[in-house]
Structure 1
């Protein structure tokens, strides 16, 4: 079905200003920034000697999950694409709005995760692992990402392309060099789980899925991509494929250089720790530089996507908005709100808790998407129902086991995560029911 020209979020005929190459750079920029440098050590600490397998399983779950987003984006490419998907599946009500907010929260959480990772690697050459400098440098990076984003789409695309090319090439060289120096034969994985057991391994898969979730940046920027009905799906598949190769290469390199216990102890800067014994001091500094490039580019791409998603939700009147006396349009305001929230989270939470909160929010939102697409949209867009149900089941298994593991090890994070989810759903129901009429939301959403 064709969209009417008045439908909100409808892209121009040829899409926006971001090319296929730049869109892939944005997607891989978010994934590699978080997945390699922020999460490799966290995943290895949970999964033990078999942690490369966690990346493989995370990729499998992600490929199933991506199907719902691809078929919906092919039918209705839009800036703020996940909000569009949820609105099409559920109508412009509390479910669509709350799940969209959860997605936005998971993206903002990812920004704080990446910012703290940047700071951790930047300070590693000075032997500083903690303290006030970590959040201070992280906040400075968030401010820099804001400045790049206010300069416009073209600057974001060019910046993402250049930095992604540098980091993907550099990380690949790091993996190859580390494997060559240490020898693949030195990596002798033990076919057993870590002391965390099966729930710990499942928790590592949850974080691996979080490492791949950058593909949603592409759907959130669908209306900005040239020829979106053709290129959004291609961009998602290419980005995931590139990241699978890079993740496995780096996992093998880290596993060949460090023991699982060494990786766990250095979980916030595992790649730098792995580089030094096999590549020397030069390799260590090269890895630190790559980490800073990767995390910076990932943060820029994420800020770009989440600000546009929140803009769409605001214009659809699915979330409240206040100018707070600022000049400019809604998008510029939401860009500021996004970086302010990310900065606050960077100051308040450590890497482990940030990653866990992001995984909870993302998995819940992902399940809401799959259920809505399967129940209400599969026949309309000729989607394969069994793929969607498989994605839903895989998410459910990972979420439940992750929750059980975190409840034993850090119950506060579980309580905060699910209390936030409940508050978001109740707040959206109150806001849409009391302050916004259904007809008003329909007029702005263009829901058909």
Structure 2
């Protein structure tokens, strides 16, 4: 019997880098600049440091509990199969849906710059967002292998273009009058910087996908830590330099005007219309591949949760050779990306993943004796993720109460659904014949 080929270090890193450099940077860069202004590179650095500290817990939990369930497994190991752990895992599935909505919204924002359908850019964006979700769903049902091939191709293309953007961009910064926007006197206050960093935290969440591949990684004791730390370190450097080039290339007024597709706009001063088109194409490829991969990941999360008996077993039902969760994930994504604004989607995603990572860090702290890990680092990660969540909520309450209401409703609903399911299951066990 042939064994499945092991995942090498570079392949494991590409899973993490591909997960992080998906659609997030294209979707949230303009939002980050609007909040943090000249300190946007610092905001990305702060968010990256929190991700890097959290990865320590993921490394030790992945080595001790290698499982394709990844985060779901770690939460259940740390908290047991309770209403709480089920609620957190439900939030993970919903957070995938939020990320899909973010990527689809980004695709819809960039696409009309190349192809106009109705002449109404707002309407066009929703048409494109919906169309790309439907197309990705069809591809997922057609072949999981094709999903992997698209992701492998997209990782190479988007990194090549983004690294080229950074290289040319740094050259173009010399003598650019907008470079002064990066000076400390253009920075927002510390609280605003932190708030901006947390809003765009979604741009880093993809590193957790490495944990799902842990059982198949070659030489795990050596390569799992390297895969997490190297991929996050690389992405921090990439994001910070992209932020420097963007803020140093365009005046804040132009960034605000092109907030939803600012990365393409930032290529104009260096490469003109050609640069704008190249970055737009990169954004479309990147967000499309991220939607493909996240649809697959989201359906697997719902399957794992149902298998662990934290959601109805009906979610393990196969529909056209895929878990029924794939279709449910796609439908909910269509609903969210067409009814919720981009900023509120980003806030909901960041709050969701900050909370999930806080609990993973707490699992790392609780299980440190089993994982042979340091207790202090996961505890620091838990405190930082918790403080970051509180900071984000407080900061957004001043400017976007709707986003906080949406995020709070999502979190509350995840735990209520789990509580109702556990209660009904307990009732059925007690009264099997409905007596």
Query: What's the TM-score once normalised by structure 2's chain length?
Result: 0.89
Task: Give the superposition deviation at 1:430.
Answer: 2.5
Change (3 A) 1:232 1:145: farther
Match of 2:432 in 1: none
Equivalent residue of 1:214, what SS? helix
Q: Are 1:272 and 2:261 an aligned pair?
A: no
- 1:218 positional shift: 2.3
Paired with 1:171 and 1:163, the residues of 2 have a C-alpha distance of 12
1:357 equivalenced with 2:335 (yes/no)? no
Residues 148, 15 of structure 1: CA spacing in aligned structure 2 closer, same or farther, 3 A cutoff? same
Matched residue, 1:341: 332
Name the CA distance, whole Å, in 2 between partners of 1:338 and 1:391. 30
Contact 1:116 1:135 in 2 (8 A): yes
Is the CA contact 2:14–2:155 (under 8 Å) kept in the aligned structure 1?
yes
Q: Take 1:129 and 1:82, find their aligned partners in 2: how far apart are those partners?
A: 41
Give the alignment of 1:154-169 within 5 angstroms: 154-169=145-160
The equivalent of 1:99 in structure 2 is 88
- Asked if structure 1 preserves the Cα contact closer than 8 Å seen for 2:307 and 2:316, the reply is no
Q: Provide the C-alpha distance between the structure 1 equivalents of 2:399 and 2:216, rounded to a whole number of angstroms.
A: 42
Partner of 1:47: 36
Shift of 1:318: 0.8
After the TM superposition, which residues 210-289 of structure 1 pair with which residues of structure 2 at under 5 Å, given as runs? 210-223=202-215, 231-289=223-281
CA shift, 1:23, in A, is 4.0
Equivalent position of 2:375 in the other structure: 385
Relative to structure 1, the CA distance from residue 31 to residue 273 in structure 2 (aligned partners, 3 Å threshold; closer, same or farther) is same
> What is aligned with 2:433?
none
What is the rounded CA distance, in whole Å, between the counterparts of 1:222 and 1:283 in structure 2? 38
The alpha-carbon deviation at position 179 of structure 1 amounts to 2.3
Residue of 109, 124, 135 corresponding to 1:120:
109
Residues 28-427 of structure 1: pairs in structure 2 closer than 5 A:
28-125=17-114, 130-183=121-174, 186=177, 187-188=179-180, 189-192=182-185, 197-223=189-215, 231-322=223-314, 327-328=319-320, 331-375=322-366, 377-427=367-417
TM-score (norm 1): 0.87
- How far apart, CA to CA, are the structure 2 residues paired with 1:13 and 1:124? 48
> Do 1:118 and 1:138's aligned partners in 2 also have CA atoms closer than 8 Å?
yes
Q: Which residue of 2 aligns with 1:5?
A: none
Equivalent residue, structure 2, for 1:443: none
Instruction: Map Cα deviations across residues 135-190 of structure 1 (whole Å, 9 max, x no partner).
Output: 22112212222233334443333321211111101111112112223427652212
CA contact (8 A) 1:26 1:160 kept: no
Q: Which residue of 2 aligns with 1:430?
A: 420
Which moves more between the two structures, 21-30 or 47-56? 21-30
**Is contact 2:200-2:350 (8 Å) kept?**
no
Separation in 2 of the partners of 1:205 and 1:13?
46
Q: Displacement, 1:390?
A: 1.0
Between 148-157 and 111-120, report the one with greater CA deviation: 148-157
Secondary structure of the structure 2 residue equivalent to 1:37: helix
Conserved? CA contact 1:160–1:301, under 8 Å: yes
- Distance verdict in 2 for CA 1:389–1:327, change over 3 Å: closer
Query: Are residues 106 and 49 of structure 1, via their aligned partners in 2, closer, same or farther at CA, if it must alter by over 3 Å?
Result: same
Give the SS at the match of 1:269.
helix
Aligned-pair distance for 1:15?
6.7
Unpaired runs of 5+ in structure 2?
Answer: 430-435
Deviation at 1:17, TM superposition (A): 7.0
1:381-421 CA-partner distances (Å, limit 9, x unpaired): 11111101111121122111111111111112212222321
RMSD: 2.8
Q: Check whether the contact 2:316–2:323 (CA below 8 A) recurs between aligned residues.
A: no
Alpha-carbon distance, 1:29 to partner: 2.3
Deviations 1:106-162 (A, max 9, x none): 121111111111121111245778422212211221222223333444333332121
